[in-house]
Structure formats: C-alpha cells, structure tokens
Amino acid sequence: MLNEPVTNVKGVGEKLATDLESMDIYTVEDLLFHFPSRYDVFEIKPLNELIHEDKVTIEGKVLNEPRLSFYGRNRSRLVFNVEVDHVVVQAVMFNRSFAKKHIKMGDLITLTGKWDAHRLQITVNHYKKGSADQQAEIQPIYSIKGEIKMGRLKKVIYNAIKEYDLQVTELLPETYLILYKLPGRMDAVKTLHYPENRQTLKHARRRFVYEEFLIFQLRMQLLKKWHREATEGNAQHYDPESLKLFINSFPFTLTAAQTKSLNQILADMKSPYRMNRLLQGDVGSGKTAVAAIALYASLTAGKQGALMVPTEILAEQHYQSLSELFKDRANVVLLTGSVKGKKRNEILKEIEEHQIDIVIGTHALIQKDVFFHDLGFAIIDEQHRFGVEQRRILRDKGLHPDVLFMTATPIPRTLAITTFGDMDVSIIDELPSGRKKVETYWAKENMFERILSFIGKRITDGEQAYVICPLIEESDKLDIQNAVDLFHQLQEYYPSDIQIGLLHGRLETSEKDKIMKAFVQNEIQVLVSTTVIEVGVNVPNATTMVIYDAERFGLSQLHQLRGRVGRGEKQSYCILIAEPKGDIGKERMKIMTETSDGFELAEQDLKLRGPGDFFGKKQSGLPDFKVADMVHDYRALETARKDAEEIVENNLLNDPSFQQLKYFLQTQGHFDSKLD
C-alpha cells in the first residue's frame, strides 16, 4: 500500500526515516511524489561550441594512465588526457583518488564539469565510463534537508518505484489523457524521477501540472457549490422602480463595466443563494457608486446594510459620499472607535430597532454588542485587510446576508482564480470617461530641488501635493525618522505661508484625523506621509504625488499611491524618486511611467516578483503545488478551471470514470461526508 510507512521501502532505516520526516516524507507515497525541484541537462556538444567557464559534458578516449598527486592534508589531484574530436583535452579531478583505479588508458569516458576554453581543460565533477547513453543527459536535482545525501535519496526512490510502481493508480479519466495527450500517472512519476529525454519529461510535467490544478479547482468549485446550496431561501425582493429613480439621481451615467458588475450583483441578490462576490476595480473606477446602488436595493427589500472599511479616515469619507448620494432616501450612520458613550448607545439602539438603514464603520461594527434588526447586505471594503474571522463575524450579524467584498488592488486573473476560487468575481475594468491620465516620471534623488520648485508652482496655482516616504514595517524607527527629516527639510525650503503636514503610523488616531482633515480643507498644502494614506483617501485638489525610494514598493502599491492624485479636473503628476540597483528594478520604474492600467501592472508585478510576494508571503494563503507554477502554467490553470466547473456542474464525479478522482478528493480533500 502506498500509505505504508516509508520505512517499508528497502534501504530506509530509522535514521533516514527521521531525516525524511523533516522533509514531510512519512509514507511510501510521499517518497514517490517527492519530485526533483529542477534538472541539470548535460548535452554533448562539439568542443568549439563550448563556452568558457560553463558546465559542460564531453565524451572522449583516455590517452594515458591518470597521474595522482597529493598535496595539503588529504587533498589529491588526478590528471589525465582525453582525446575529444582529435583534440587533446586535460581532465582534472580533485579529491577522488579512488578514481585512479577505475580509469584506464584507452577507456571511453564521459566527463561533466567546468570548462576552461583557454587551457582546453575540464575540472571534472562527474564522470561515467563509456559513452553517454543519449545526446542529452538529464540529471534530476532534489531539494534536500539535513543530513540526507542526494545519492542516497535517489537510491531509495529507485527502490520505492521498483517495489510500488504498480500501486500508483490513475486519477484522471482516460478521455482526459487522450484529449490533452497526457502520459499515465505511473509513467509520469517514473519519468519525473528518471527522465529519458526532454520530450517525455515535458509531458510528465504537463500531466502533473494539470492534475494538481484540476484537483485544486475541483475543491474550490465544490466549496462554492456547497456554499450556495446551504443558503437557499434568501432572495431579496428589491424594488426595481425605486432603484431606477435612485440611479437617475446621480450626476453621471454608469460606465458599461459598472452596469455589468451591478447587474451581476443584483442577480445574486434576487436569487435564493447567498452572494459571495468580489468587486474588483482600480481606484476611481466607481466601485463605491455600484456598492451604494446595491445597498439601496437591499433597503427597498426592507433590509439593513453595512459597509466595513479598515480605517477611520476611509469610513468618514465613505460616510460623507454615501450620505450625499442617499440624501433623504436612507438613514446612514457612522460607527467607528471614536464614537463612544451615550452617542454610541443611542446608535446601537437605533440599529437594533431599524431606525438606521445603513451603518458605515470600522472594526467597531463587529463588536459583540452591535445587533442589527435585519442585516441583508454587507460590504467589506479593502477586504484583504480583514481576516477571515472578522469577515465571518460581520456576516453572522445577519441571517445569511449577501456579502460583497471590494478591493482596489487589481488582482491578476491568475491569482484571483486561485485565491478567490470560491468567490464570484466582478471586474470594473474601465474608468469613467474624461479622466486625465496621471503623468508619471522617474527621477533621481539629485533632482529633488527641481521637484520641490515644481511642487511650489503647483501650490501657487492653488493645488496640493503628497510626498511619500516608504514605511516597510510599522515599527521601523529609521523610516519614520526619514519622514520627519523630510518634513523639516520642506519646512525650511518653502516660505512660511505654505503649510507642511506630517503623517505617520506612530501618531494617535485623533492626531492623524486632524492632519488629514486639514489637508482635505487645504489648510495644509504639502502632506509628507508614510504609506498610511494608501487606502481610499480622496482629495481632488491634490495634483502632485512624489514617492521617495520608489523602488522599495511593489508596482501595485505604487499604483495605489498614484491613485490618490488625478481625482479632480486638473492634470496630475506622479514623480517616482528611485535609484534601483538591478535591471528588474529599472524595468519596474519604466513600466510605472508607461502604464496606468492597474491590472496590467498587477500582472507585471506578478511576473517580476512571483505570487508569494504579491500579497506578502504570510497572508497569501496560496496553495502549495509540487509541480505546477501559477504564473508560468497559467494557461493550464485556466483549462483546469473550466474542466472543474463542468465536472461539478454536471455532477460528473458520480460517473464511473471519475471514481478514482472522487475517491482521492474524499480521502485527501476533507470532503468525505459531502461527496457520498
């Protein structure tokens, strides 16, 4: 059985088993599926094609008996000549005195090592008597931990394959193997460990990429289905006429993308299923407007709505804009940590008695003593800033409320499919017309004076500016000092009628709010800030954004910051001050100056930094694939998603050809009871 302890494999004793455990290998199956992390390919090429200092493989005839010499302590050097393509090449082997006995004059030999083109010399680290078996030799390289030697690991994997190969059962229906031209599971396992050539290796890899993605997507789709089925009887019968009137009261018409997203949301609300939807859209794309309409729909169905945001400043801004939109159509209230005492008690009472229709707030919204009369619609803005638990608490404040998540961080489709596979996704991928593009420049630090004078001119025209200093860790004293220094520098530079403000995470909330309000009211003209203003702040009169040490931010984050300007009628500017070291850093700055599409930037970020870095390693919650790579194998992921959808929709798992796959999901996917 494949789930036998790994010690049942020939050659695995207690000691080795302990080491294997540190690599998460406990069973025979774990060992068989511990695939190489990469491969070295040695290809025999003619001498004149070899590149100096490359790792190369050559084949030739030994011309003399190897000479062995010792030096230092226990160090040896073995030297012999080899004839390759009628040229004499010198082979040098260090600390392998034993090889003297193996290698004889006249032997045919294959050598792998570092090539010195000037001396026609190879420093050998791998040799094999005889001719190379094929044109290219592929060496699997395993990631290993602790004391284990790679040779030893290879040997026990070999033993495991010999003994257990027939027990590796096929999971995929034959029709899929034929359709996608994939090798069988057992063959693919063997090939990954012992690749014959590049072609078979490629197909074996392709097979597991697909298998891993399909299983992953099946899990997501099944979750999504159960999620829906569990919540029947939750249709919100909103009033389309009132809704139309409300939409017509807006000073603008919705963009096509807004309308499409709105219709998707309304369809969810009307349906008996509970909505679990993510609304994605760039800053300023009009998510709030869509959310407001959905909230209003819920009100006309006789329910209450809630909007939870991560910061007080953002809550206040949402409160202002929504109060204005709703005017006397709804009772809107703000509930944040600064609402206390009697005022708070009053509000809580009104929420519970349904005198309040819509509550906008921070974490204060999910405190134990907040009770809704009938919460039907909950919105969570900047959803990635909240934990799973906090989202659940808000949801549980109602009886199966529809939940809409919003994010202004454009998430590449690749990641959205995986991270939010159990959510439906709506995307607003166009900005309202007439928006001016933010002109973006990349500057060096020595241009700072010029930048300051540029800002000075904008201020004379009555505009405002942000100057951002990166703050990587909230506790990073040095970074705060940078912001403070910059603040003083600007105070000195500008005449005293220009007010400079300073905002950073160490300030009290009330202090932050005071400064932010002063900036909103143009009492402060230049706001020096760490990244605390990143989320959602709206000051249309601010037209310039300077970002210091821009190379320390991700592209998506830079784009978020840049979204703080360009919110009004006037032309806006973003100046990135950066001295990136490597080519990737330079490339990133260039992309920022050329691209204003958040989704494209997110894709680029993903390509340049990888998925782990995209959200930050910890909160990414990305699945760990053994073979597949979400960025690189993106197209296979799409295919697997479509197939999984079809399988779940048509209940194919009950088909005999899916028996093994279903069994696998039952035993390894924690879906035991539900899949019966």
Residues that bind Mg ion (CB under 5 A): 288
669 binds ligand ADP, rule: CB under 6 A: no
Q: Is 43 exposed, middle or buried (0-12, 13-18, 19+ CB in 10 A)?
A: middle
Cα-Cα-Cα-Cα torsion 26, 28, 29, 32, nearest 10 degrees, comes to 110
Check residue 288 for interaction with ligand ADP (CB under 6 A).
Answer: yes
Determine if 286 is a binding residue for ligand ADP (CB under 6 A). yes
Q: Are 309 and 360 in contact (CB under 8 A)?
A: yes
Which stretch in 17-25, 58-66, 278-286, 503-511 sits in contact with ligand ADP by CB under 6 A?
278-286
Question: Between residue 610 and residue 649, which ones bind ligand ADP under the rule CB under 6 A?
Answer: none
For ligand ADP, which is the closer residue by CB, 28 or 257?
257
Task: Report in angstroms how near the CB of residue 600 gets to ligand ADP at its nearest.
Answer: 17
289 binds, among Mg ion, ligand ADP, none (CB under 5 to 8 A by kind): ligand ADP
Cα–Cα distance between 267 and 265 in angstroms, integer?
5
Rg (CA), the chain: 32
Least spacing, CB of residue 397 vs ligand ADP, in Å = 23
Please identify which residue in 60, 113, 281, 598 interacts with ligand ADP, judged by CB under 6 A.
281
Instruction: List the one residue out of 472, 462, 408, 458 whose CA is nearest residue 574.
Output: 458
Contact of residue 258 among Mg ion, ligand ADP, none (CB under 5-8 Å per partner type): ligand ADP
Of 385-414, binders to ligand ADP (CB under 6 A) are 408
Based on CB atoms, which residue is closest to ligand ADP, 288 or 531? Answer: 288
Tokens 């996608």 identify what position?
A: 180
Of 258 and 529, which has the nearer Cβ to ligand ADP? 258
User: Based on CB atoms, which residue is closest to ligand ADP, 72 or 251?
Assistant: 251
Q: How far apart are CA 79 and CA 65, in angstroms?
A: 9
Collapsing DSSP states into helix, strand and coil, what is residue 329?
A: coil
**Distance of alpha carbon 535 from alpha carbon 525, whole angstroms:** 20
The answer to whether residue 283 forms part of the interface with ligand ADP (CB under 6 A) is: yes
| CA dihedral of 467, 472, 473, 476, whole degrees rounded to 10 | -60
580 binds, among ligand ADP, Mg ion, none (CB under 5 to 8 A by kind): none
Task: State in angstroms the smallest separation of the CB of 380 from Mg ion.
Answer: 13
Residues written for the chain: 676
Please, which residue, 112 or 288, has the CB nearer to Mg ion?
A: 288
Considering only residues 471 to 500 of the shown chain, the ones binding ligand ADP according to CB under 6 A are: none
Do 494 and 526 meet the contact criterion of CB atoms below 8 Å apart? yes
| CA dist., res. 539 & res. 534, Å (int) | 12
Question: Smallest distance from the beta carbon of 252 to ligand ADP, in angstroms?
Answer: 3
- Our CB check for ligand ADP shows the closer of 168 and 334 to be 334
Contact region for ligand ADP (CB under 6 A) — 287-295, 349-357, 486-494, 542-550? 287-295
Residue 280, contacted partner among ligand ADP, Mg ion, none, CB below 5-8 A by kind: none
- The one of Mg ion, ligand ADP, none whose footprint includes residue 311, by CB under 5 to 8 A per kind, is none
**DSSP alpha helices (H): ranges in 14-125?**
14-21, 28-32, 99-102
280 binds ligand ADP (CB under 6 A): no
Pairing of strands 464-468, 402-407: unpaired
Beta-bridge partners for 68: 78
Which is nearer to ligand ADP, 288 or 529 (by Cβ)? Answer: 288
Of 195 and 286, which CB lies nearer to ligand ADP in the complex structure?
A: 286
Least spacing, CB of residue 559 vs ligand ADP, in Å: 13
527 contacts ligand ADP (rule: CB under 6 A): no
Q: Residue-wise over 204-228: b if at least 16 C-beta within 10 A, else e?
A: bbbbbbbbbbbbbbbbbbbbbeeeb
Residue number of the CB atom closest to Mg ion:
288
Q: Write phi, then psi, for 355 (nearest 5 degrees).
A: -80, -20
455 contact, one of ligand ADP, Mg ion, none, CB 5-8 Å limit per kind: none
Residues in region 424-453 near ligand ADP by CB under 6 A: 432
Q: Tell me which of 234, 255, 407, 426 binds ligand ADP, using CB under 6 A.
A: 255
CB 408 within 8 A of CB 281: yes
Amino acid at 511: E
CA 229-264-300 angle, to 5 degrees, is: 90
Does 287 engage in binding with ligand ADP (CB under 6 A)?
yes
Is residue 66 a contact point for ligand ADP (CB under 6 A)?
no
| Minimum gap (Å) between residue 653 Cβ and ligand ADP | 39
Alpha helices in 271-368, H assignment, sequence order? 287-300, 312-326, 341-352
Beta carbons of 172 and 180 less than 8 angstroms apart: no
- From the list 57, 110, 236, 285, which residue makes contact with ligand ADP (rule: CB under 6 A)? 285
Nearer to ligand ADP among residue 140 and residue 281 (C-beta): 281
Query: Which structure tokens are listed for 509?
Result: 């909330």
Would you count residue 254 as binding ligand ADP (CB under 6 A)? yes
Q: What is d(CA 523, CA 209) in angstroms, rounded to the nearest whole number?
A: 57
Tokens of 309: 């945001």
Return the structure tokens found at 169. 């059962």
288 or 482: CB nearest Mg ion: 288
Least separation, in Å, of the C-beta of 435 and Mg ion? 15
The reply to whether 269 sits near ligand ADP by the rule CB under 6 A is: no
Whole-angstrom distance, CA of residue 64 vs CA of residue 106: 8
Interatomic CA distance for residues 117 and 50, integer angstroms = 8
Asked if 284 interacts with ligand ADP (CB under 6 A), we say yes
Residue 109 or 322 having the CB closest to ligand ADP = 322
- CA–CA gap between residue 395 and residue 542 (Å, rounded): 36
Contact positions toward ligand ADP, by CB under 6 A? Answer: 252, 254-255, 258, 281, 283-289, 408, 432
